[in-house]
Chain A
Amino acid sequence: MSKKKPVIFDIGWNACINCGACVAICPQEAGFISPFDTIAVDRPCDIACLLCEDICPVRTITHREAVMVPTAAALLAL
């Protein structure tokens, strides 16, 4: 398991050329994709390998730390 903190990606759509390289390199499970054929930007990535940022030919992917809200299951376990 990755010890990295989950991140949420942000794509600078102005520079994105819809090349798909970020999805091609992404080790996430199937479906971690946005409607614009990039990696998902609407949910946290718990792998946070950031390879998508490295492969991007126009370097238009950035991230912020995902703010984790405890799930009900986690709270019940306390």
Chain B
Amino acid sequence: MTKFEYDLLIVGSGPAGATVARYAANAGLSVLIVDKKQELGSPIQCSGAVSRHALEEVELPLDEEYILEPIYGFAIYNQVGESTKIDYRKIKGDEYGSGPGKKPLGYVVDRRRFDRYCMTQAERAGAETWLKTEASGYATLPDGRCAVSVKRYNEDIEITCKVLVGADGLMSQVGKWAGLQTHIRITELAGCLQFIVDNVETEGLLEIITGHEWAPGGYAWVFPKGHGYAEIGLGVIPTMTKQPAQWHLDKFIKQSFFKERFANCRILEVQGGGVPLAAPLRTQYADNLVLVGDAARHVNPITGGGIHTALNGGKIAANFLIEHFQNPAATFTAKDLKGYQDAWLAELGDKMWSLYHKKTAVFHHEDIPTRDAYLYETMSDYFDPHSEYKKI
């Protein structure tokens, strides 16, 4: 039987896993990524909005291969359609815009293309990728490494590695293997549905519609999606409504203050997902194991955004591991890997925790009009150019 041995085995080739892989392979570690999918990023479970800063921060080239449309700001609506517009083309017109020498604030990306692009960059840095390969468990070995069982095109294979990186998304099984507390509360997982549509005008802004009337526990969104298309979606917290997201999205399209705007919309794609509006996992490491991305619940609890946090968290994990591997006598127990989480908390996690407390404070208001007012205010503050959180 062929022996497969790597420094890192990464389960899941999304933005988090591929970023860990790219940095680690660049630094000379031997890296294998396995992903059970045949096509990365599919089915799409994400709106695809990401800041330019987030891509630049992890040195990912800005490439038309995956960019669908540039974004220049935000529009936050309350339940009756009054809005706060934050358009960087107007606030900082000399810096932001579509003209020469100007740049966008962010992008809406195609997650199929984006995830493939992230994987390609990791491959070019020296990582190896196996698609159609599902991991099913791991066991620590007496020599300080661990053995991971995978099935690749129906063939059972065992891979030995020093560190297993769980980057297997919100449905993460890797954390469960290690006995980590990964359970998410039903009050903190939004059931989301979105349509890619034709015949809905957009203006380069991410539009966020708050209000219990439209999206109890979450919010609705209208994002530009490139090629003249738009994306209309929403997420709801199941304990705050008797109806599923599908019912709310239908109501939002047919009855909201945007009903005329949506009157001729044609649905081109249907996508959905679960979005955690929750705290990060309290423990994101175990013997021979670290978690990144959605698997570690590195998701912004106010916006539900997870691409930036996945990319950035992936880089933090890689940098920690690269340094740790430099010591030839390094061991890989939970105690040794705790430093990853400490670094992550210092760089990103502590801010995410404070966002979580902010979000929790909003939804603690039992009175719906009060809660709506707080959510609208919190969202508007969050996207304000002077927000302390704008880099999350």
Contacts and interface: CB of A to CB of B under 8 A. Distances in A.
Nearest to B238: A54
Contacts of A25: 184, 186, 189, 274
B86 interface: no
Nearest to B245: A57
A57 B136 CA distance: 27
A25 B248 CA distance: 20
Interface residues of A, number: 21
Contacts of B245: 57-58
Interface in B170-196: 170-171, 173, 176-177, 183-184, 186, 189, 191-193
Contact of B45 (A20, A33, A54, A55): A20
Contact of B274 (A27, A29, A30, A55): A55
Interface in A15-36: 17-21, 23-25, 27, 29-31, 33
A66 interface: no
A21 B277 CA distance: 13
B170 A20 contact: yes
A27 B183 contact: yes
B73 interface: no
B313 interface: no
B15 interface: no
Q: What interface size band does chain B fall in? A: 20 to 34
A37 B36 CA distance: 10
B333 interface: no
Main secondary structure of the interface of A (DSSP, over half): loop
B244 interface: yes
B273 A30 contact: no
B272 A59 contact: no
Nearest to A28: B176
A51 B187 CA distance: 10
B297 to A, nearest CB: 10
B271 to A, nearest CB: 7
B270 interface: yes
A19 B274 CA distance: 7
B81 interface: no
Contacts of B171: 20, 23-24, 33, 37
B184 A17 contact: no
A67 B183 CA distance: 28
A70 B383 CA distance: 58
A4 to B, nearest CB: 15
B272 A57 contact: yes
A56 interface: yes
A24 B176 CA distance: 12
5 contacts: A17-B270, A20-B45, A20-B274, A24-B184, A51-B186
Interface of A: 17-21, 23-25, 27, 29-31, 33, 37, 51, 54-59
Given A19-B193, A25-B186, A25-B274, 6 more contacts: A20-B171, A27-B183, A30-B177, A31-B173, A33-B171, A55-B191
